[in-house]
Amino acid sequence: MRRLKELARICRGDVLKMTYVANSGHPGGSMSSMEIFLSIYSFANVDPKNPFDPLRDRIVISHGHTSPGVYSVLGRLGFVDIDQVIAGFRHHSSIFEGHVTRGIPGIDWSTGNLGQGLAAGVGFALASKIKEQDYHVFVAMSDAEQAKGQVAEARRIAKKYGLSNVTVVIDYNDAQISGRARDIMAVNIKENYLSDGWRVIEVDGHDIEQLLYALKEAVEDKVNPVAILAHTVMGKGVSFMENNVSYHGKPLTKEELEKALAELGIENDVDKYIEMRKHLPLVKHEPLKLGYEVKINVPTARTYTEKTDNRSAFGKALLDIVKANKNSETPVVVVDCDLASSVKTDLVMKEVPERFVQIGVQEHAAATVSGAMSADGIVTFFADFGVFGVSETYNQHRLNAINHTNLKVVVTHCGLNVGEDGKTHHGLDYVSAPANWLGYKVIVPADPNQTDRVVRYTASVYGNFLIAMGRAKQSIIKREDGKPFFGDDYTFEYGKIDVLREGAEVTLLGCGAIVENLVAAADNFKGRVSVLNVACPLDLDEATLRKYCDGKKVLVVEDHAAPLGLAALLAKFMMQKKIFPSHFEQIAIEEHVVSGPYEALYELYGLSAKKIAEKVAALLS
Amino acid sequence: MRRLKELARICRGDVLKMTYVANSGHPGGSMSSMEIFLSIYSFANVDPKNPFDPLRDRIVISHGHTSPGVYSVLGRLGFVDIDQVIAGFRHHSSIFEGHVTRGIPGIDWSTGNLGQGLAAGVGFALASKIKEQDYHVFVAMSDAEQAKGQVAEARRIAKKYGLSNVTVVIDYNDAQISGRARDIMAVNIKENYLSDGWRVIEVDGHDIEQLLYALKEAVEDKVNPVAILAHTVMGKGVSFMENNVSYHGKPLTKEELEKALAELGIENDVDKYIEMRKHLPLVKHEPLKLGYEVKINVPTARTYTEKTDNRSAFGKALLDIVKANKNSETPVVVVDCDLASSVKTDLVMKEVPERFVQIGVQEHAAATVSGAMSADGIVTFFADFGVFGVSETYNQHRLNAINHTNLKVVVTHCGLNVGEDGKTHHGLDYVSAPANWLGYKVIVPADPNQTDRVVRYTASVYGNFLIAMGRAKQSIIKREDGKPFFGDDYTFEYGKIDVLREGAEVTLLGCGAIVENLVAAADNFKGRVSVLNVACPLDLDEATLRKYCDGKKVLVVEDHAAPLGLAALLAKFMMQKKIFPSHFEQIAIEEHVVSGPYEALYELYGLSAKKIAEKVAALLS
């Protein structure tokens, strides 16, 4: 205890020094959370000598801007080198970035955008239960971020799944950037947690004894998830910083630093670190090691010969995989948001309920929970409609990408293919949105056979994938000899463009539900029209594009928003590679579209086989 | 009262008929909410003869899939033609789409993605207060959507701003797609509302007398926002549909319809409507009339001559506009999420606090509240960091676009220009994300002078705009004669590409913070390099691109995610228009980037003037 109190003093000095040396960062909240960090990292089952032990407790720092506080604690507890922290904080060659980063020993989740950490913690806690490994999860948060709706969603999931193995400690300093938290946006934190069925313990957040006792109580509670409200003072430990929000995101001046360190009784040795920093290399730091070996069984593919919706093919392939891995080292789990019967995860729900997680209409938390689970040793499928799994959870996936998770997002009901549900439900960005996340591969399979193989493929490799599909039944894409193109002799290869038809003059390109219409249109003009299935729009295949597009008339057809989709990706790639079609045209969606049967909408918006054939005829004439 | 009870019976028949005729739609929830809809529309100050009266009460149906119930009520109360509803429901030539649509008499907000309606209602209620027009806002919601975090955010805003003029009525039928709501994801609805300081009234949701009495109490409460928990039965009114979730999103069969209508005592006249439907035209319906005339004063532009950050230029222009319109017919308001001092809306906060709305760390609700306010007669600016104003609120903006709102989203801290805060805070999608929303124009001004003029321009025209900027101070872009390019003689024109430098061999294209580096690089090679400022990347200018890019070596430089940004937009446009550069190259961000001073990051990622000049030299050699 005495040691921890002493460390708190030293760490406060570290915080002031590293933010001064970096001339950037957040000292105020770091000082406020100091005893919380020290208590959690010393109480939890974590070992600086074996920081990535799979059975360790997990620790999520949700208010990631308090990285100076966290890094100082990790430094003083032996997880990392404190000198490297103080000299390197926020320098591009250092791993000690502005916000806490997964992969640094002691850090289980990269945060920075507030309000995400509890859902990540709930994901780890679920993973602990599913893997039957019995580790505990501690989440440190700020009070301001309690306002984020995603926190409430995460609370309910913890309660529903009886996750007494998650404990949240809230730094209740009543201060945020713009002033007192209660003035900015009052959050009745205690009442909110109680109303969602959590247990709440209140402590003095600068009293390590109280904190440790509360943590013990929380871990011993085998019924409820527990929130510890730790009342604190922003800028704690330095008189002129206390309760002064101007130090939220601003380092001290030289004079202030001198005064503050003197008050803390700490030697001012920043010159040493400034000198060290000068010699840091002008390169970016090496990527941190993340990920794990995926050890699963992939059962044999199914081949469809009758019209089938891709989502059913997905559901069946998923069931095959889940069943084949009930006892695998790497479990396979699917997360649903009250759409199981539509996205076809109801098969798993019924047959293997212990691998099915039902989160209800709480997509934000669902996406983060799924990401965290997937990072924590579970191959995780998150299935939802396009508008929810892509648009509504856009930033959650961006943050999953930053965390190098292993998530398979399967979105059904994409495009006008959804039909009657109308514009709020036409997901038109299943290629363009994930492209922005920088860390998801996108696959848009053409028919149930390709869907089946894609699902099996993505389950077996580490990394984030987004698989998009429509709602309607799809014709089986066939070779000219009538056999299924993506049948028994086909193996999915990421990035390969499939040449479905060959012709000399016009080349049609597309992916997903539209491909059967491209083939049908092309079959009116045998030998004159090629059809390319670009199932992996973010990673294009130069040789195929050169062969079938250079000097040809090119028509790209998309059941996708027009500005930035397949046509834009193709055009940029081809221009960079000096592949010049003699004509380049796009059919895609320029506006939000009305309700209607999808066949009618396809006809109205030029996506039907008939309309495409008319366009091809014009190009050929 | 008797009339309303009788109407409930008739409307239930309408619901069953229209979903049967459309062979699609959601009868279960429509039957459950029937008395709620009838009570609200008959209690509220709305007039079918003057449905767009600016002083009317506003009504938001958050569970938009209950459109059959809403449309039947609107039909029977005289807002719309019931025959057109029953025959046209979900047909592409009809305005009666799958989810309720703003612009139909009686419908104030298009919904469909659950959990958005309360925030929209709060936006209307705030607008009512700001305009001092004293109308009330009624929001009908389902119980399942109470799980969405955005609902909790909206509750807090209503409480903070004392919005006793908003009343929510919750259809508490304990049923959702996958089963009983309490099993899918238990939400302690009553406790949640109470914990956020709302008043709660519980009623039998099929008892119109109780409902009307509760609405009266709610409207008379001048202190608290009120939630009416209306206990209901899904599928109410038809014995075999009651409490049967399989009718959530499925119409009845012919036999079931016969039976149900008989039970309700309603004639089965669907053949008439089926016949009418057959004769509906195969066109999409005309867009609904939305929007209003923006009547504001736009004060004279400011011209900067010293290095200034664009966000400061924004903040000052905004202050000018807000001050000049304190007494205008169209008020100008800014919404902040606890970042006022960073996004520079603190000027308005301090000087005109009655035009400043502080929503705290609740971006989802903030974006929807802002959108609804902007639709309701207030020119609304929503200012935030790029990662929050674009990425985190992506779907909220998509829904604003669907609602044809009048929102000006100003995002600061975009790109690597943010620097040390690191990857979670580098907003890299400020062009590509809004492109997907189909209904936002994007402007990325090059310097403080252009920023100033862009802000004034967007305030003065109806429509959604996203204005993106970096964090750092920007050099003033100058003409070759040394005068500010965007100075006193410049007028912003949407879609115009600015030719900053002219040269014969290489053309550099970019927007935003990067433009000063393009100019600096080009100035090393006078007469050989053109620089084009593409401030409006979504609407390109063919003549300028043809003149400066066809046959030239083109280099596009972006502080933006590489896959889909300016280069992709340019490439697609040029390929479509047969503008063929002899060389096409892109410098942009391919991965999530480390913390570091932005100048260092620009150097590392090839975006500095020096690196760009090196690339140009290679192209010229």
Q: Considering the domain boundaries, does residue B302 fall inside one? A: no
Is A341's Cβ below 8 Å from some Cβ in B? yes
Q: Considering the domain boundaries, does residue B301 fall inside one? A: no
Q: Do both A531 and A586 map to the same domain?
A: yes
What's the ipTM?
Answer: 0.97
Contact present, A332 and A322 (Cβ < 8 Å): yes
Q: 3-state class of A226 per DSSP? A: strand
Is B593's Cβ below 8 Å from some Cβ in A? yes
**Domain's final residue, options B261, B278, B295:** B278
pLDDT value at residue A194: 98
| Cα separation, A516 vs A519, whole angstroms | 5
Task: Collect all residues of chain B within an 8 Å Cβ-Cβ radius of residue A423.
Answer: 97, 99, 110, 112, 402
Q: Do both B268 and B351 map to the same domain?
A: no
**Full residue range of the structural domain in which residue A553 is found:** 498-620
The model's pLDDT over B564-591, given as tens digits with 9 standing for 90+, comes to: 999 999 999 999 999 999 999 999 999 9
DSSP designation for A59: E
| Cα separation, B210 vs B205, whole angstroms | 8
Is A284's Cβ below 8 Å from some Cβ in B? yes
| Cα separation, A299 vs A301, whole angstroms | 7
Q: Do both A258 and A339 map to the same domain?
A: no
DSSP designation for B392: I
Share of chain B above pLDDT 70, in %: 100
Please say if the pLDDT value at position B198 is more than 90. Answer: yes
Q: Considering the domain boundaries, does residue B141 fall inside one? A: yes
User: Which two tokens mark A48?
Assistant: 């600086």
Shortest Cα distance from B480 to chain A (angstroms)? 31
Given an 8 Å threshold on Cβ–Cβ distance, is B436 in contact with A428? Answer: yes
| Nearest-by-Cβ selection for A594 from B97, B339, B401 | B97
The model's pLDDT over B396-434, given as tens digits with 9 standing for 90+, comes to: 999 999 999 999 999 999 999 999 999 999 999 999 999
pLDDT value at residue B96: 97
pLDDT value at residue B175: 80
Please say if the pLDDT value at position B163 is more than 80. Answer: yes
Which residues does A266 contact at the CB level (< 8 Å), separation at least 6? A9, A10, A12, A13
Given a cut of 50, the residues of chain A with pLDDT beneath it are none
Shortest Cα distance from B263 to chain A (angstroms)? 28
Is B618's Cβ below 8 Å from some Cβ in A? no
Is B350's Cβ below 8 Å from some Cβ in A? no
Question: Which B residues, 473 through 492, put their C-beta within 8 Å of a C-beta on chain A?
Answer: none
Is B365's Cβ below 8 Å from some Cβ in A? yes
Nearest Cα residue in chain B from A246: B341
Question: Mean pLDDT score of chain B, rounded to an integer?
Answer: 97
Please say if the pLDDT value at position B182 is more than 90. Answer: no
Q: Which of B61, B92, B283, B432 to mutate to test the interface with A (most CBs of A within 10 A)?
A: B92
| Nearest-by-Cβ selection for B436 from A98, A561, A584 | A561
Beta bridge partners of A180: A175
* Alpha helices (H) along B500-565: 515-522, 542-549
Is B549's Cβ below 8 Å from some Cβ in A? no
Shortest Cα distance from B483 to chain A (angstroms)? 34
Nearest Cα residue in chain A from B399: A424
Given an 8 Å threshold on Cβ–Cβ distance, is A22 in contact with B91? Answer: no
| Nearest-by-Cβ selection for A395 from B159, B391, B576 | B391
Is A439's Cβ below 8 Å from some Cβ in B? yes
pLDDT value at residue B465: 98
Please say if the pLDDT value at position B289 is more than 90. Answer: no
Q: Do both B218 and B312 map to the same domain?
A: no
Is B386's Cβ below 8 Å from some Cβ in A? no
- Please give the span between the terminal C-alpha atoms of chain A, in angstroms, as a whole number: 86
| Nearest-by-Cβ selection for B402 from A25, A184, A424 | A424
Beta bridge partners of A501: A531
Q: Do both A105 and A247 map to the same domain?
A: yes
Shortest Cα distance from B401 to chain A (angstroms)? 9
Q: Do both B115 and B259 map to the same domain?
A: yes
Task: Collect all residues of chain B within an 8 Å Cβ-Cβ radius of residue A27.
Answer: none
Contact present, A99 and B424 (Cβ < 8 Å): yes
Task: Collect all residues of chain A within an 8 Å Cβ-Cβ radius of residue B589.
Answer: 438
Q: 3-state class of B62 per DSSP? A: coil
| Nearest-by-Cβ selection for B148 from A191, A284, A361 | A361
Q: Do both B394 and B517 map to the same domain?
A: no
The model's pLDDT over B466-502, given as tens digits with 9 standing for 90+, comes to: 999 999 999 999 999 999 999 999 999 999 999 999 9
Query: Which CATH number goes with the domain that contains A513?
Result: 3.40.50.920
Question: What mean pLDDT comes out for the span B540-553?
Answer: 98
Task: Collect all residues of chain A within an 8 Å Cβ-Cβ radius of residue B151.
Answer: 149
Q: Do both A173 and A30 map to the same domain?
A: yes
Q: Considering the domain boundaries, does residue B299 fall inside one? A: no
Is A427's Cβ below 8 Å from some Cβ in B? no
Beta bridge partners of A320: none
Q: Considering the domain boundaries, does residue B491 fall inside one? A: no
Is A177's Cβ below 8 Å from some Cβ in B? yes
Please say if the pLDDT value at position B287 is more than 90. Answer: no
Local confidence band at B183 (pLDDT 50, 70, 90 cut-offs): confident
Q: Do both A217 and A72 map to the same domain?
A: yes
Task: Collect all residues of chain B within an 8 Å Cβ-Cβ radius of residue A584.
Answer: 575-576, 578
Number of Cβ within 10 Å of residue B216's Cβ equals 11
Q: For A201, phi and psi rounded to 5 degrees? A: -120, 130
Task: Collect all residues of chain A within an 8 Å Cβ-Cβ radius of residue B600.
Answer: 92, 282
Q: Do both A385 and A259 map to the same domain?
A: no
The model's pLDDT over B293-305, given as tens digits with 9 standing for 90+, comes to: 999 999 999 999 9
Give pTM, 2 decimals: 0.97
C-alpha to C-alpha distances, A155 to A150, A196, A365, A462, B192, nearest whole angstrom: 9, 7, 9, 29, 12
Given an 8 Å threshold on Cβ–Cβ distance, is A438 in contact with B591? Answer: yes
Q: Which residue has the tokens 């390169």?
A: A283
Q: Considering the domain boundaries, does residue B133 fall inside one? A: yes
pLDDT value at residue A121: 98
Q: Considering the domain boundaries, does residue B150 fall inside one? A: yes
DSSP designation for A375: H
Please say if the pLDDT value at position B177 is more than 80. Answer: no
Query: Which CATH number goes with the domain that contains B355?
Result: 3.40.50.970
Task: Collect all residues of chain B within an 8 Å Cβ-Cβ radius of residue A194.
Answer: 191, 195
Given an 8 Å threshold on Cβ–Cβ distance, is B90 in contact with A595? Answer: yes
Q: Considering the domain boundaries, does residue A246 fall inside one? A: yes
Number of Cβ within 10 Å of residue B257's Cβ equals 20
Please say if the pLDDT value at position B152 is more than 90. Answer: yes
Q: For A164, phi and psi rounded to 5 degrees? A: -70, -5
Please say if the pLDDT value at position B26 is more than 80. Answer: yes
Q: Do both B401 and B512 map to the same domain?
A: no
Given an 8 Å threshold on Cβ–Cβ distance, is B432 in contact with A429? Answer: no
Question: What mean pLDDT comes out for the span B246-253?
Answer: 92
- The burial of A168, by beta-carbon neighbours within 10 Å (0-12 exposed, 13-18 middle, 19 or more buried), is given as buried
A-B Cβ pairs (cutoff 8 Å, strict): 371
| Nearest-by-Cβ selection for A195 from B195, B342, B603 | B195
pLDDT value at residue B292: 95
Task: Collect all residues of chain B within an 8 Å Cβ-Cβ radius of residue A91.
Answer: 595-596
Is B143's Cβ below 8 Å from some Cβ in A? no
Q: Do both A391 and A514 map to the same domain?
A: no
Cα angle for residues A612, A446, B590 (degrees, 5° grid): 100
Number of Cβ within 10 Å of residue B207's Cβ equals 16
Q: What's the total number of domains in chain B? A: 3
Question: What mean pLDDT comes out for the span B273-288?
Answer: 92
> Among A121, A177, A168, which Cα is nearest to A146's?
A168
**Domain's final residue, options A257, A278, A299:** A278
Nearest Cα residue in chain A from B428: A436
pLDDT value at residue B286: 86
**Domain's final residue, options B474, B506, B521:** B474
Question: Which B residues, 45 through 84, put their C-beta within 8 Å of a C-beta on chain A?
Answer: 64-65
Is A365's Cβ below 8 Å from some Cβ in B? yes
pLDDT value at residue A182: 82
Shortest Cα distance from B487 to chain A (angstroms)? 32
Is A590's Cβ below 8 Å from some Cβ in B? yes
Task: Collect all residues of chain B within an 8 Å Cβ-Cβ radius of residue A439.
Answer: 592
Beta-sheet strands, E only, within B255-378: 308-309, 332-336, 356-358
Local confidence band at B282 (pLDDT 50, 70, 90 cut-offs): confident
pLDDT value at residue B209: 97
Is B148's Cβ below 8 Å from some Cβ in A? yes
Is A599's Cβ below 8 Å from some Cβ in B? no
Number of Cβ within 10 Å of residue A540's Cβ equals 18
Local confidence band at B167 (pLDDT 50, 70, 90 cut-offs): very high
Q: Any idea how long chain A is?
A: 621
> Among A526, A83, A456, A423, which Cα is nearest to A279's?
A83
Given an 8 Å threshold on Cβ–Cβ distance, is B185 in contact with A90? Answer: no
Shortest Cα distance from B90 to chain A (angstroms)? 5
Task: Collect all residues of chain B within an 8 Å Cβ-Cβ radius of residue A250.
Answer: none
Given an 8 Å threshold on Cβ–Cβ distance, is B595 in contact with A148? Answer: no
The model's pLDDT over B344-392, given as tens digits with 9 standing for 90+, comes to: 999 999 999 999 999 999 999 999 999 999 999 999 999 999 999 999 9
Beta strands at B166-172 and B137-142: parallel, antiparallel or unpaired:
parallel
Shortest Cα distance from B601 to chain A (angstroms)? 8
Please say if the pLDDT value at position B1 is more than 90. Answer: no
